[in-house]
Structure 1
Amino acid sequence: MSLEQPSPPPRRETVTGVPRGGRRRPPAHTPARSEISEQTTLGATYVRALMRSQLRAGLRVLAAVGLPAAVLPALLALPGAASGPLVWLALGPAVYPLLWLTARWYVHRAERNEADFTGLVMDPAEAPGPQRRP
């Protein structure tokens, strides 16, 4: 009579990887950020480029809204120009979509300018991912 001995349990293996809390530490100051904080010529150039891009966007909005707003009353004052309800529609409800579209474009452009500037200044390891707007 032979008694079979139970086989030993299979050997367990532990798989390890890189610790999750041990991410690479970003440098204290990236070169562009330190250039700006130390107010060097290069840092001033970075800030001036941001200010110029914001100024360009603002001047485009001024041209898109200001020129039609300045020209429309002159066109409506011409002899033979439409009068009555058409004038009120041109000066009232028709202006709001133009204002809304230009304001939306300006906010989008300003955020994009700032994101580009932030991407230039920040270290890629600590840059936030793309954010969705609701």
Structure 2
Amino acid sequence: MTVPHDPAAPAERRAERRVVVTGPPRHTRRALGHYRPRTEIDEQTTLGHTYVRSLMRSQLRAALTVFAVLALLVGPLPLVFAAMPQARRLEWAVLGFCLYAPLVLLARWYVRRAERNERDFVRLVEDR
């Protein structure tokens, strides 16, 4: 009786090894000429750089949008407060209550947008 993994065994005896097939193969190799964006990114080619740059631009666009809305929302408040010096309690009410809900909504929108950008990017570069 020969051991199937014996390196000294002749090649024809090693070829007699049985293979039990219980189902379809789980991982199959793609053809060598198959287009793979993930490979382009890993190898840092010009196309891979373009993919990553597009993700970074979409994330930057979302961040600048949030910053612009935040600047429009909070920026004029010092001018409004300076125009009404007699309303000290109004300042705390605006800063404590009226500004909280829009800031939470803005943060929520930004997180959802960033996650959607990342999901779209992954969908673009994943192996199919």
TM-score (norm 1): 0.68
- The yes-or-no answer on 1:115 pairing with 2:119 is yes
Runs of at least 5 residues in structure 2 that lack an aligned partner in the other structure: 1-21
Residues 61, 42 of structure 1: alpha-carbon distance in 2 compared, 3 angstrom cutoff: same
Structure 2 equivalent of residue 56 of structure 1: 61
Structure 1 equivalent of residue 78 of structure 2: 73
2:49 aligns with one of 32, 44, 47: 44
The RMSD of aligned alpha carbons is 2.5
Runs of at least 5 residues in structure 1 that lack an aligned partner in the other structure: 1-18, 125-134
Q: Is the 8 A contact 2:40 2:47 kept in 1?
A: yes
Q: Is the 8 A contact 1:30 1:122 kept in 2?
A: no
The amino acid that maps onto 1:25 is T
Aligned length: 106
Distance in 2, matches of 1:34 and 1:101, equals 38
1:31 aligns with one of 29, 33, 36: 36
Question: Which structure would you say has the larger RCO, counting Cα contacts within 8 Å and 6 or more residues apart?
Answer: 1
Structure 1 runs of 4+ with >3 Å offset: 19-24, 26-30
Distance in 2, matches of 1:30 and 1:116, equals 18
Q: CA deviation at 1:120?
A: 0.4
Distance in 1, matches of 2:68 and 2:35, equals 38
Higher helix content, 1 or 2: 2
Q: Is the 8 A contact 1:65 1:98 kept in 2?
A: no
Distance in 2, matches of 1:26 and 1:119, equals 20
The amino acid that maps onto 1:52 is R
Distance in 1, matches of 2:79 and 2:53, equals 38
